[in-house]
């Protein structure tokens, strides 16, 4: 085939049609990192590299602000935020009370999505945990799908000492114990909207060595009279069903024995968060539960922070094990869904590289807890997370039905950040806002709504003092004397009606926090995004392979071109507002 590198198309364009299209969005699939890891041969031959080798690859310039809800909606509508009305993960809806924050994940989308466009043209669409598709109304769901779910409990670290262990009445699961078998009981509590159940998780300490000393080297987990085997990394699952809305729902968690010393003075167990699958129709939930198990939930950033700060907590290796398990779950659940349901278009979302970089993009010496060993451990986590994403791509690519084109992209990249900026606290300190119940008060003249590196400031009352505020923001410096804002501008007539009076973007080392307190706090969630798309670290990438896909590596493409590209591959009209 001579179609290929000799004829570089100037834009992202197919050369034919596919009977089915799968779009996978890896949140924060940073273009720079993809290219660096590819150059370092960190990927398999069957995932990203296969797609690049056999299909289309380009860098993608996301829309501004480079924030998850904004970029996903622009990706699937082909329209800019000023058209979609999804202006930030946090912004403010005109006319709403000062105290009300509009979420980009739930506000109405002011443009047709590729899901709506495909369905109106008779195509069948599946949507797996894709942002904005929360199944709250017909516009926000496919013909079938899984809804993105958050855990119903947080993960926790349980520390035990010898006094937490009591003598057991028998050897229990300890086959032969040369010291008296001991047992510690940890409750596992599942409570959801008034429903719930609990389990007593017994951690047994056994002694497998006949060395004449009272010490312990072996641990067993038992619930009631059921032994729960530990995997080679000492993880174990706990699950339970509860009745909800006439359905029996499977909930579960993965926990890990982190540490066991012979004298049982420093035993540490990580109890994982509890999650479930939430699909429609119910039959899909059952199929995913059966094939992939309960949703393992996201890797635990809070427990990882404890490790970075103190060396206790969830170590990076365990965090990566969580990432790997979630990636494997996504592959297995996607394959189960493809077997259970038919589709012409399938949208799939994965969060693993986003979560891993949020917590572990620890690259700058002035970030909190930035020691050489922490930076080295962090770099491994990021690399492993991208490798897990690559394995997921390879697994799904190998399982897609014949005639399927697969597109893999991200919503934005990620940059290392150093400080949280509490801008509403500064507005209060400057006499422009007031506090009430620990948050921005209803009588504030100005309010700041944002997250990551973008914020919109709205003037609710009083004379127009925006020129003075622009001047303050432009002169604002952080604790290290560097400028906080990269750009502060007034809204124009081209902006969406919900846009702030002022639109501001921080330099990537600063991020906006809407809570009150110290104006500047060092971040322990290191990787951030949301700022201007001028930063190459905030760019992402697109890969495509399969029927109708060109073998081409075009110049960087705008994110708003993706919706039309998907439509062209499927041979349907693009969404109505698509560029
Ligand atoms: Zn994102």
Q: Could you please report the per-residue DSSP string of 237-291?
A: EEEEEEEETTEEEEEEEEEEEEE--TTSSSEEEEEPP-EE--EESHHHHHHHHHH
Ligand 1 centre to CA of 66 (Å) is: 8
Rounded distance between C-alpha atoms, residue 346 and residue 336, angstroms:
13
Q: Count other C-beta atoms under 10 Å from residue 483's C-beta.
A: 15
**pLDDT tens for each residue of 5-20:** 555 556 799 999 999 9
Ligand 1 centre to CA of 412 (Å) is: 6
CA nearest to 294, candidates 340, 253, 345, 257: 253
Rounded distance between C-alpha atoms, residue 99 and residue 441, angstroms:
6
Contact 535, 73 (CB under 8 A): no
First-to-final CA distance of the chain: 31
Give SS3 for 17. Answer: coil
Ligand 1 centre to CA of 252 (Å) is: 26
**What is the predicted pLDDT for the residue at 3?**
47
Distances (CA, A) of 470 to 420, 466, 467, 573: 20, 6, 5, 43
**What is the predicted pLDDT for the residue at 193?**
83
- The runs of H, that is alpha helices, within 91-132 are 114-120
**pLDDT tens for each residue of 44-84:** 999 999 999 999 999 999 999 999 999 999 999 999 999 99
Ligand 1 centre to CA of 26 (Å) is: 8
Ligand 1 centre to CA of 352 (Å) is: 10
Ligand 1 centre to CA of 358 (Å) is: 10
Ligand 1 centre to CA of 92 (Å) is: 20
Contact 147, 135 (CB under 8 A): yes
The residues pairing with 270 across neighbouring beta strands, listed in sequence order, are 157, 256
- The runs of H, that is alpha helices, within 419-576 are 423-429, 466-475, 562-570
Contact 58, 544 (CB under 8 A): no
What are the phi and psi torsion angles at 220 (to 5°)?
Answer: -125, 150
Ligand 1 centre to CA of 131 (Å) is: 9
Q: Mean pLDDT per 10-residue run, the chain (579 residues)?
A: 49 94 98 98 98 97 98 98 98 96 97 98 98 96 97 96 94 89 96 89 94 92 94 97 90 97 96 96 97 97 96 96 98 97 98 98 97 97 98 98 97 98 98 96 97 98 96 98 98 97 98 98 97 98 98 95 98 97
Ligand 1 centre to CA of 210 (Å) is: 54
**What is the predicted pLDDT for the residue at 118?**
98
Ligand 1 centre to CA of 378 (Å) is: 19
Record the tokens describing residue 463, joined without a space.
């004379």
CA nearest to 252, candidates 167, 359, 149: 149
Ligand 1 centre to CA of 152 (Å) is: 22
DSSP letter string, 280-340: ESHHHHHHHHHHH-S------HHHHHHHHHHS-SS-HHHHHHHHHHHHHHHHHHHHHHHHH
**What is the predicted pLDDT for the residue at 4?**
47
Contact 118, 572 (CB under 8 A): yes
Ligand 1 centre to CA of 67 (Å) is: 6
Contact 70, 533 (CB under 8 A): no
Ligand 1 centre to CA of 411 (Å) is: 6
Task: Give the length of the chain.
Answer: 579
Rounded distance between C-alpha atoms, residue 110 and residue 82, angstroms:
9
Ligand 1 centre to CA of 523 (Å) is: 18
Rounded distance between C-alpha atoms, residue 546 and residue 403, angstroms:
7
Ligand 1 centre to CA of 277 (Å) is: 21
**What is the predicted pLDDT for the residue at 194?**
83
Ligand 1 centre to CA of 294 (Å) is: 24
Distances (CA, A) of 381 to 40, 310, 371, 376, 541: 15, 18, 15, 9, 20
**What is the predicted pLDDT for the residue at 7?**
52
Ligand 1 centre to CA of 163 (Å) is: 45
**What is the predicted pLDDT for the residue at 407?**
98
């Amino acid at each position: 085939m001579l179609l290929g590198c000799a004829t570089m198309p100037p834009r992202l364009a197919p050369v034919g049609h596919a009977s089915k299209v799968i779009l996978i969005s890896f949140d924060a699939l940073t273009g720079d990192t993809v290219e660096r890891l590819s150059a370092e041969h960190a990927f398999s031959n069957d995932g990203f590299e296969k797609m690049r080798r056999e299909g289309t690859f380009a860098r993608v310039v996301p829309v501004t602000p480079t924030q998850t809800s904004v970029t996903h909606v622009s990706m699937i509508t082909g329209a800019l935020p000023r058209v979609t009305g999804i202006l930030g993960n946090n912004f403010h809806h005109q006319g709403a009370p000062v105290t009300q924050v509009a979420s980009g994940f739930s506000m109405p989308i002011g443009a047709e999505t590729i899901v709506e466009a495909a369905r109106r043209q008779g195509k069948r669409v599946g949507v797996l945990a894709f942002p904005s598709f929360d199944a709250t109304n017909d516009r926000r769901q496919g013909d079938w799908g899984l809804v993105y779910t958050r855990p119903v409990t947080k993960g926790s670290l349980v520390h035990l000492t010898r006094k937490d262990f009591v003598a057991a009445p028998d050897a229990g699961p300890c086959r032969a114990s040369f010291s008296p078998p001991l047992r510690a009981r940890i409750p596992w509590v599942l409570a959801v909207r008034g429903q719930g159940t609990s389990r007593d998780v017994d951690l047994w300490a056994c002694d497998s060595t006949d060395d004449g000393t009272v010490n312990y080297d072996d641990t067993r987990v038992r619930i009631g009279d059921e032994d729960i085997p530990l995997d080679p990394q000492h993880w174990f699952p706990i699950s339970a069903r509860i009745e909800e809305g006439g359905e029996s729902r499977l909930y579960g968690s993965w926990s890990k024995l982190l540490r066991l010393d012979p004298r049982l003075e420093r035993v540490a167990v990580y109890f994982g968060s509890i999650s479930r699958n939430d699909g429609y129709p119910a039959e899909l939930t059952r199929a995913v539960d059966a094939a992939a198990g309960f949703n393992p939930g996201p890797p635990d950033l809070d427990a990882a922070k404890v490790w970075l700060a103190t060396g206790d907590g969830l170590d990076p290796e365990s965090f990566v094990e969580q990432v790997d398990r979630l990636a494997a779950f996504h592959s297995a659940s996607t394959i189960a869904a493809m077997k259970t349901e038919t589709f012409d278009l399938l949208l799939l979302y994965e969060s693993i590289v986003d979560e891993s970089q949020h917590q572990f993009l620890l690259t700058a010496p002035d970030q909190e807890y930035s020691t050489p060993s922490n930076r080295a451990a962090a770099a491994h986590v990021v690399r492993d997370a991208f490798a897990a994403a690559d394995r997921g791509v390879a697994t799904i690519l190998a399982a897609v039905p014949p005639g399927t084109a697969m597109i893999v992209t991200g919503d934005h990249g990620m940059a290392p950040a150093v400080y949280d900026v509490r801008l509403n606290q500064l507005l209060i300190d400057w006499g422009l806002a007031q506090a009430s119940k620990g948050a921005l008060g209803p009588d504030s003249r100005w309010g700041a709504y944002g997250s990551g590196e973008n914020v919109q400031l709205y003037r609710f009352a009083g004379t127009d003092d925006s020129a003075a505020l622009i001047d303050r923001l432009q002169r604002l410096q952080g604790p290290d004397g560097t400028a906080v804002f990269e750009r502060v501008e007034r809204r124009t007539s081209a902006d969406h009606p919900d846009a702030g009076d002022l639109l501001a973007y921080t330099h990537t080392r600063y991020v906006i926090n809407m809570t009150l307190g110290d104006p500047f706090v060092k971040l322990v969630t290191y990787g951030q995004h949301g700022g201007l798309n001028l930063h190459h670290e905030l760019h992402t990438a697109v890969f495509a392979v399969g029927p109708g896909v060109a073998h081409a590596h075009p110049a960087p493409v705008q994110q708003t071109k993706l919706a039309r590209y998907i439509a062209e591959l499927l041979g349907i009209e693009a969404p109505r507002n698509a560029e």
